[in-house]
Amino acid sequence: MHGLHAKHTEILKGSIVEIENTNKLEEQPGHPIHAFKLENQELDKLINTQLKVHLEEFEKEENHENILKLLEDINLLRYIDKHYSRKVNLIFPYLETYGIFEPTTNMWRSNDFHP
């Protein structure tokens, strides 16, 4: 499971190679929005590249190796909850401070994330 831990760390701690550098504060390394964007990119890659390929391999041949690849991918997907919980707890209160309630109200209601 060492590989699983390394992938989780890569996805959720933001140690992903930077593609571009801008002057916008939210796009600077260390800013929560920057980290969320990188996490979104990595989650997209995990689902649409890695998991999709492993699922196709499994559908062709249900062997032990393909099962383990899928299980590892599925275990990584468990961390999506942490990703969205952090978004909800960091971003929504900030939006509400500035009087922006509709996105947060809908999210609280539909996902039961409200503390």
> How do residues 51-103 score in pLDDT, each as one tens digit?
999 999 999 999 999 999 999 999 988 888 888 888 888 888 888 888 887 76
Return mean pLDDT, the chain. 77
Give domain limits for the chain: 29-111
Residue matched to tokens 């994330």: 113
Decide which of 33 and 64 is more confident.
64
> Do 16 and 42 form a contact (C-beta atoms < 8 A)?
yes
Instruction: Please give the DSSP secondary-structure letter assigned to residue 31.
Output: S
Helix spans in the chain (H): 2-12, 32-45, 52-60, 64-77, 80-97, 102-111
